[in-house]
A and B are shown apart, each in its own frame.
Chain A
């Protein structure tokens, strides 16, 4: 059973470039990028108990920095990538200091407000960001001289980054630090009495989540070769949060499944239904009603019950 599941996952990750057309290969790339983004948000929401509605800030900032550096200032992709991610990290460190003055709803509102500020800047500072027109005509990097312009080669590139990101975040949550983080989520007072510094643990996690948010932002701008203020919008943050909660927050598989569901609905349904947002809302409602903990915990509970009951 377990091996069967692993085989299915491996096949669904490795086969698309060989079997599917460009549309589906591109869709798969987008899902992987959204999955990295959702996984990074899940570090805050699921493992840290910090529900953020501003996580798109880190995706957007890294994407914008990379776009500006490569298109306007003549930077190479390598140095631009390093600076973009560093920019997202510094921003997360700064935003974290502000947002972590509060917890719960206060934290959520501050993250929302901060991301709105960035979104507003991207819109209004049109001499820098090109405002509502966005920045177009961007290029993809060519690591080791390999062009990533073909959908399949870009997919492989994204898959490698996504696998690495998944591995790093999986190790992070199962590490000693990850245990401290989960402890602070559940019993902050107790953890402080045991010698843990709850604030610092949350702040470091916030920065780390910002780092992976920045990585997903880079991939995002590489994929689209275009960046627009909507990437920084609350909708963008909320979609990822929706994916995390629908898939199962605090699990490793949940955000991936959730991100895939959101993107599939967005891409498929929008072709047939004009109000695809409504459909997304209905699907989300259905998931929350049937599987309150999310798809991944819900399905694993279901299979566990099925296995226990005799055939």
Chain B
């Protein structure tokens, strides 16, 4: 074992991913400290979601390493990464439309518990699971809709259920893929304060296009373009950087 004891929450080393001839991740390295709030920005097609998919295990990189709290997770299937403390939300909402909000959040809780293998008792017998799901829904302000099916609620509320599913798992590292996409101004500020209230035990890495809101939440920023890290560092330094203006902010 070569890995020295790492004090990083997430470490990505020389990650490469190509789809046929199209290289989406050229050579990406990231180092995120525990508790950090990292914002990943970049124009469309920069490879942001592809990077997330490799970190969460939905895609396997062609080469490179991914470490979670020092442990190499590059070859682990997604569910093992979830058990190692990694949670994510999706840019495109992927909830269980026919089920209630409570049931959706319960699935998130169940995913990390041994009781998910239980076959001889109806799920409704697990009072603690439902109670905790409701508590989590309360933190995102949706307790009053707990018994409604997902198909009944508004888009902005679905975004918050996505967040509740991930937060209920109390992840050590949370990947948020455009949590503010498509939200109205009011909803945006709700979700923003929600993200701001995530405890520091959770490291947050977020992809977001809405710079006005997202920059307030971030401490550090990584700018990707064409599958490469262009600029990285403290928020203000990255914003002030000439290359950032060139690539992203426009002049």
Interface set of A (CB-CB < 8 Å, partner B): 171-172, 174-180, 182-183, 186-187, 189-198, 208
Contact = CB atoms under 8 A, between A and B. Distances in A.
Interface string B80-103: 001100011010001111100001
B94 A190 contact: yes
Given A176-B116, A193-B57, 17 more contacts: A171-B120, A174-B123, A176-B117, A176-B118, A177-B119, A178-B123, A179-B110, A186-B98, A187-B94, A190-B94, A192-B78, A193-B78, A193-B82, A194-B107, A194-B169, A195-B111, A196-B79
A193 B121 contact: no
B202 to A, nearest CB: 16
Contacts of B57: 192-193
**Which 6 interchain pairs have the tightest Cβ spacing?**
A195-B111, A194-B111, A195-B82, A192-B78, A174-B122, A177-B119
For chain B, give the interface size range: 35 or more
Contact of A196 (B95, B111, B118, B121): B111
A175 B118 contact: yes
Nearest to B107: A183
Contacts of A198: 79
A179 B112 contact: no
Contact of A176 (B77, B82, B87, B115): B115
Given A175-B120, A176-B110, A180-B110, A192 B77 contact: yes
B54 interface: no
Interface string B187-203: 00000000000000000
Contacts of A191: 107, 111
B56 interface: yes
Interface centre among A176, A182, A186, A189 (most CB of B within 10 A): A176
Interface of B: 56-58, 77-79, 82-83, 87-88, 90, 94-98, 103, 106-108, 110-112, 115-124, 126, 165, 169
B87 to A, nearest CB: 7
13 contacts: A172-B119, A172-B120, A174-B123, A174-B124, A175-B120, A176-B117, A186-B97, A186-B98, A189-B58, A189-B94, A190-B94, A193-B88, A208-B119
A198 B78 CA distance: 10
- Per DSSP, chain A at the interface is helix
A38 B83 CA distance: 36
A182 B121 CA distance: 16
A304 to B, nearest CB: 16
A192 B79 contact: yes
B136 to A, nearest CB: 13
B100 to A, nearest CB: 12
B1 to A, nearest CB: 26
A307 B251 CA distance: 64
A102 B66 CA distance: 28
A254 B120 CA distance: 22
Contacts of B122: 171, 174-175
A186 B121 contact: no
A194 B77 contact: no
Contacts of A178: 119, 123
Given A189-B58, A191-B111, A194-B111, A177 B87 contact: no
Which of the listed residues A178, A189, A190 has the most CB atoms from chain B within 10 Å of its own CB? Answer: A190
A208 B120 CA distance: 12
